[in-house]
Amino acid sequence: MAFHNLLRSARHPITRWLLLVVCAFLGLQLFFLTKIAVMARIAPESTAFERSQAWQILQTKQRLPWRQTWVPYNKISDHLKRAVIVSEDDIFAQHDGVQWEAIEKAWAKNAKAELQASRAAQKNPAVKVVGGSTITQQLAKNLFLTGERTFVRKGQEFVLTLMLEALLPKQRILELYLNHVEWGEGVFGAEAASQHYFAKSAAQLSPWEAGRLAVMLPRPKHYQKFPLSEYLSGRTEIILTRMPRAQLP
């Protein structure tokens, strides 16, 4: 009723439109907040990213090769938890959801790459866009958002990240992430990845197997096609040396 009266009192059409936009935004944030609060006890059946990938696969194939099995935190190898943390977000247990220094470095690197491309008087398709996202940010994006790179989407990602960090403990955030992250075409979550690549459960992964899976995360579909990549082997060895220093939540 109060909103209705406020809307009626706004005589200018632009003012009314702005009020509607603000209310729609706040309503969307309340929806996200409620969904995240529920995730403290109930795991989501799927994420926005998983649904988009399923749709893409169905458009090109007659059947959906889908592998995903939820497993609780204590049924995932600590080796995998450590490997993913040192590979994706080395201070996951300490930060508030965002590594500001990493974002600044990513922005600087992207700006430099774009400048080099513009000096070449053409758009360089080989320029690698670096995100600097934490595990919590990646989870926020996968749960609710699309893969497009815009300031609006990034802003919403920050808001969702803060919500996740405020409402969920770090252990739950990592549990959700490991159960829904992509490890290949139609392969989602630690259990599915372990069964697909090593024919064993996520609880049984060795340090080397865990390191190999962690290294795949930035480009899982690519490394699914090239499992014998020299980069995979070399990067896995680096991750193995760093894993003992990883702090688990």
Same domain, 1 and 24: yes
Render pLDDT for 58-82 as a digit per residue (tens, 0 to 9).
888 878 889 999 999 999 999 999 9
Q: What is the pLDDT of residues 108-149, one digit of tens each?
A: 565 555 555 555 544 444 444 445 689 999 999 999 997 777
Measured at the CA of 55, the angle between CA 49 and CA 57, to 5 degrees, comes to 105
- Do 54 and 28 lie in one domain? The reply is no
Same domain for 49 and 21, yes or no, is no
Instruction: Note whether residue 198 is domain-resident.
Output: yes
Q: Are 84 and 4 members of one domain?
A: no
Look up tokens 């080397």; give the residue: 208
Q: What are phi and psi of 248, to 5 degrees?
A: -85, 145
Tokens of 199: 């024919």
Q: Could you give the CA distance from residue 29 to residue 163 in angstroms, rounded to a whole number?
A: 9
For residues 215 and 171, state if they share a domain: yes
Residue 96 is encoded by which pair of tokens?
């508030």
**Residues contacting 69, CB < 8 A, separation 6+:** 189, 191, 192, 195
Domain count of the fold of the chain: 2
For residue 84, what are the domain limits? Answer: 45-95+165-249
Two tokens at 241? Answer: 């040396």
Q: Answer yes or no: do 31 and 64 share one domain.
A: no
What token pair was written down for 83? 């490997």
Measured in whole angstroms, the distance separating CA 86 from the mean position of its chain's CA atoms is 15
Per-residue model confidence as pLDDT tens digits over 21-59: 788 889 999 999 999 999 999 999 999 999 999 998 888
Domain of 194: which CATH number? 1.10.3810.10
Tell whether 243 is covered by a domain.
Answer: yes
Please enumerate in sequence order all residues whose Cβ is within 8 A of that of 39, keeping only pairs 6 or more positions apart, or say none: 167, 168, 172, 176
Of 185, 183, 186, 105, the closest CA to residue 194 belongs to 183
Based on the fold, state whether residues 173 and 214 are members of the same structural domain: yes
For residues 83 and 1, membership in a common domain is answered with no
